[in-house]
Amino acid sequence: MNPVTNFDTKKYGYVFNIQHYSVHDGPGIRTIVFLKGCPLRCQWCSNPESHQLTPTLAYNNNKCIGIDECGYCLKVCPVSAIERNEEDNKIKISWQVCDNCLKCSEVCPSNALTPYGKLMSVKEVIDAVEADSVFYSRSEGGITLSGGEPFFQMNFALELLKEAKKRRINTAIETTGYTNWTNLETLCQYLDTILYDIKCIDSGKHKKFTGVSNEKVLDNFKKMCEAFPNIVKIVRTAIVPGFNDTNEDIIEIINFIDGLANVQYELLPYHRLGQPKYEYMGRKYVMGNVKLDDNKMQTLITLVKNQFFFTDKLS
């Protein structure tokens, strides 16, 4: 079945994961709802399955039981994108030919072929979140919308936050900030915390490594701090070797956010945990075997501790 594209975006949206019992993406114990779709193409992205709005086909060779024992996927593929891999008698996919109809995933008995993402209603998502509510009251936790980029499904994200507020669930969002100010302003009315990515200050470098410039990201952040001083703002920077791993890079960000209302700052280490997903989707992981130097990371953490002072002043 081809992915559904004609639906009420206020009632339904594409979700590729709901992660329970998280303690890293907002205060307390949280349930993270990962929404599909993102306008950025960060070279180090750990969730490449989020890029496309609709479900994306993935193939895990280790789960394939072989053509001789199965072979159902070959029979249902309408564009002949699947063929025998003579090396192991399993399948191989011509990704350039595949039209992502997902028919093969429907007949795969071993889940070697699976879609990343499914269409869910607002009620389905919030019911899944509310099932964890026993953990929220004691830890001040709640729901965090992540992605992808939640603003890519603006209507759905807004309705999720509204429904969460109706059920008295603490709300947070993890965002790149790459959206129109009107969208950010609207969602902020239903947010307790915002985790905001500021990857670097240099716009040219930002565009080279993410595919988009960052003027909108930085402008939105300043406007948000002025318009919504009470929202807790946690600025995050993933430290990526060769991109933003110098003292100068981090000092530029500190200087940008210093003195703004209710802002905290966190550094996150680069990792390659999402690398296998690229292979599953027939894509190349362009960062290769790049590794983050632990000593350099510790130096940057110390720099932030020494030069950035959290302020809760409200302006």
Q: Is the model's pLDDT at 160 over the cut of 60?
A: yes
For the entire predicted model, the pTM comes to: 0.94
Domain spans, the chain: 12-53+118-307, 56-116
Q: Using one digit for the tens of pLDDT, what is the confidence trace for 161-208?
A: 999 999 999 999 999 999 999 999 999 999 999 999 999 999 999 999
Q: In percent, how much of the chain has pLDDT > 70?
A: 97
Question: Rounded distance, CA 26 to CA 31, Å?
Answer: 10
Q: What is the dihedral of CA 7, 10, 15, 21, to 10 degrees?
A: -160
CA distance linking residue 119 with residue 174, whole number of Å: 20
All residues at 6 or more sequence positions from 36 whose CB lies less than 8 Å from its CB, including other chains: 13, 14, 15, 16, 50, 52, 53, 54, 55, 116, 117, 147, 148, 152, 153
Neighbours of 146 (CB within 10 A): 23
pLDDT digits (tens, 9 = 90+) for 90-135: 999 999 999 999 999 999 999 999 999 999 999 999 999 999 999 9
pLDDT of the residue at 2 = 64
Q: Which two tokens stand for residue 302?
A: 């110390």
CATH among 3.20.20.70, 3.100.10.10, 3.40.1160.10, 3.40.50.720 for 12-53+118-307 = 3.20.20.70
* Per-residue pLDDT at 31 exceeds 50: yes
Angle at 217 between CA 165 and CA 311, to 5 degrees: 65
Instruction: Identify which of 114, 153, 159, 136 has the alpha carbon closest to the alpha carbon of residue 15.
Output: 153
pLDDT digits 0-9 by tens, 55-90:
999 999 999 999 999 999 999 999 999 999 999 999
Report the C-alpha gap between 239 and 5 in whole angstroms: 36
Asked if residue 312 has pLDDT above 80, the reply is no
* Fold designation for 56-116: Alpha-Beta Plaits (3.30.70)
CB 31 within 8 A of CB 18: yes
Residues 208-236 pLDDT 10s: 999 999 999 999 999 999 999 999 999 99
The per-residue pLDDT for range 241-278, each reduced to its tens digit, is: 999 999 999 999 999 999 999 999 999 999 999 999 99
